[in-house]
Amino acid sequence: MSEVPPHNFDIHEGEIPRHLAIIMDGNGRWAQKRGMPRTLGHKQGVEAVRETVKAARDLGVQYLTLYSFSSENWSRPKEEISELFGLLRMFIRRDLADLHKNNVRVKIIGREENVPEDILNLLDEAQNLTRDNSGQTLIIAFNYGGRDEITDAVKRISSQVVAGTLSIDDITNETITGNLDTHDVPDPDLLIRTSGEVRLSNFLLWQLAYSEMVFVDCLWPDFNRDNLENAIREYQGRTRRFGGLVRDTGS
Query: At 177, phi and psi to the nearest 5?
Result: -55, -40
Q: Which entry of 8, 25, 98, 170 is annotated as an active-site residue?
A: 25
Cβ 149 vs Cβ 130: under 8 Å: no
73 catalytic per annotation = yes
Q: Following CA atoms 48, 53, 54, 59 in sequence, which dihedral angle do they give, to the nearest 10 degrees?
A: 120
Triad 181, 183, 205: Cα angle to 5°: 60
Distance CA 35, CA 7 (A): 34
Amino acid at position 89, single letter: R
Closest-CA residue to 186 (of 204, 199, 198):
204
Choosing from 8, 27, 58, 73, which is the catalytic residue?
Answer: 73
Amino acid at 31: A
**Exposure letters 49-80 (e unless 16+ CB within 10 A, then b):** beebbbbbbebebbbbbbbbbbbebeeeeeeb
* Annotated catalytic residue 25: yes
Give yes or no for a contact between 68 and 46, defined as CB atoms under 8 angstroms apart: no
Which residues form the catalytic set? Answer: 25, 73
